[in-house]
Chain A
Amino acid sequence: MLQAAASHLSKTGRVLLDDVIAREINDKTRIICENSEWIAFVPYAARYPFEIHIAPKRGVASISELDENQSQLFPALAKEVLTRLDGVFGIEMAYIASWYQAPVNTGRDSMRLHWQIVSVRRQPGKLKYLSGSESAMGAFIMDLEPEQSAKQLQEVKY
């Protein structure tokens, strides 16, 4: 991530996550929800059956840098995202929720805080196993397109 972010910054002068968010806003189809400070979307190249990235629109390097307004608008959005995730199949989804942020001593100009929530649940009773292609090669093969899982998340009544 750091390499990608640093390389993007040096090539374009822009922060990678800013450009990722701009693209998602432009494409629209993969956005799950947003408010004035936060956006949640299924990324263009999702690696898991259900994968949601949540980022502050005004980028910060690390979580302790979130200001009052960002902090105040986070809970409602987080609740909506996780409720939608559980609502897809009407079961508590197993997930891994990870905060990615800039390292303590480097990359603070290029890397931006965001939250990634991924689930290997592809259907009730069915898991996506990370086996040969994913574990050994790092090449993720998915059963559904990001736009399809985004649609399922969007269609949950909230």
Chain B
Amino acid sequence: MTTPGDNYKLPAVIGFDTPNADAAGACEVVCYTQDHGSTFAQLSPQQIRTVLEAWKDRDAQLSKLSYIEYVFPFENRGEEVGVTLSHPHGQIYAYSFIPPRVEKMLQAAASHLSKTGRVLLDDVIAREIKDKKRIICENSEWIAFVPYAARYPFEIHIAPKRGVASISELDENQSQLFPAYVTSCCLTPFKNWPSLTR
């Protein structure tokens, strides 16, 4: 993979005649702390806010590159998902295309919007608030819930109640209420996984 020029463009997909093309994108590592034995959940609220600001900054910067179509901040943690570097860190991949799962999400969201005039995630959150029982925790800006049709033994979705399109759009109040909430409500229970009853 190379850093392409401003004129980089993936070729149009025209079935079997689609030509091979050079890959373009970005892979970045976000180091969470100097403490080798720490975890995201053990970071101080201030450290989490710093990580959040790093995500926001990188999203805004990577989104400006002409060859980037999608920015994906994430963390793989644990040997069970193949992690070989145990120091607490996350990654940011920036793709020159819209990844398949996002494309599917986008189709569902666009179809819901055109059918109902409403944003899909707003309706999902409204349903979770109505059902109550799958909510893990919430504050005035954020909500965490196990989705109605969870696909993993443990799966938590965390969303700002006032929806934004991308992470760099989170405002000051949302950003301020994220750190304490995400550690105390969402990640700390994972330390006690086998006995997690809530």
User: A: which residues have CB within 8 A of B?
Assistant: 8, 11-12, 19, 23, 127-129, 131-133, 136-139
Q: CB of B95 within 8 A of chain A?
A: yes
Q: How far is the CA of A8 from the CA of B74 in the complex (A)?
A: 35
Q: How far is the CA of A137 from the CA of B102 in the complex (A)?
A: 6
B99→A131 contact, CB < 8 A:
no
Q: What number of A-B contacts does a CB cutoff of 8 Å give?
A: 43
Smallest Cβ-Cβ distance to A126: which chain B residue: B82
List, in ascending order, chain A residues with CB within 8 A of B16's CB. Answer: 19, 23
Picked from A8, A19, A132, the residue with its CB within 8 Å of the CB of B72 is: A132
List, in ascending order, chain B residues with CB within 8 A of A131's CB. Answer: 76, 81-83
Q: How far is the CA of A8 from the CA of B14 in the complex (A)?
A: 11
What are 9 residue pairs bridging A and B, where the CB atoms are less than 8 Å apart in the complex? Answer: A127-B82, A128-B82, A129-B82, A132-B91, A133-B93, A137-B95, A137-B99, A138-B101, A138-B104
Q: CB of B15 within 8 A of chain A?
A: yes
Given contacts A8-B15, A19-B16, A127-B82, contact A132 B99 (CB under 8 A): no
Contact code string B79-112 (vs A, CB < 8 Å = 1, else 0): 0011100000001010100011110100000000
Given contacts A137-B100, A138-B99, A138-B100, contact A132 B74 (CB under 8 A): yes
Given contacts A8-B15, A137-B72, contact A129 B81 (CB under 8 A): yes
List, in ascending order, chain A residues with CB within 8 A of B100's CB. Answer: 137-139
Interface of A is mostly: helix
List, in ascending order, chain B residues with CB within 8 A of A129's CB. Answer: 76, 81-82
Q: How far is the CA of A129 from the CA of B75 in the complex (A)?
A: 14
Min CB–CB distance A140 → chain B (angstroms): 9
List, in ascending order, chain B residues with CB within 8 A of A138's CB. Answer: 99-102, 104
List, in ascending order, chain A residues with CB within 8 A of B75's CB. Answer: 132
Min CB–CB distance A106 → chain B (angstroms): 19
Interface size class of chain B, counting residues whose CB lies under 8 Å from the partner chain? 10 to 19
List, in ascending order, chain A residues with CB within 8 A of B91's CB. Answer: 132
Beyond the given A131-B82, A132-B93, A137-B72, could you list 20 further A-B residue pairs with CB under 8 A, ordered by the A residue number? A19-B15, A23-B16, A127-B82, A128-B82, A129-B82, A131-B81, A131-B83, A132-B72, A132-B76, A132-B91, A133-B72, A133-B93, A136-B72, A136-B74, A136-B101, A137-B93, A137-B99, A137-B100, A138-B99, A138-B102
Q: How far is the CA of A136 from the CA of B95 in the complex (A)?
A: 13
Min CB–CB distance A29 → chain B (angstroms): 13
Q: How far is the CA of A153 from the CA of B44 in the complex (A)?
A: 51
The 8 closest A-B pairs by CB, nearest first: A129-B82, A138-B100, A137-B99, A138-B101, A132-B74, A139-B99, A131-B76, A131-B81
Q: How far is the CA of A131 from the CA of B85 in the complex (A)?
A: 14
Q: How far is the CA of A136 from the CA of B102 in the complex (A)?
A: 9
A139→B76 contact, CB < 8 A:
no
Min CB–CB distance B78 → chain A (angstroms): 10
Q: How far is the CA of A110 from the CA of B52 in the complex (A)?
A: 47
B95→A139 contact, CB < 8 A:
yes
Smallest Cβ-Cβ distance to A140: which chain B residue: B100
Of residues A19, A127, A129, which shows the largest number of chain B Cβ atoms within 10 Å of its Cβ? Answer: A129
Q: How far is the CA of A139 from the CA of B104 in the complex (A)?
A: 12
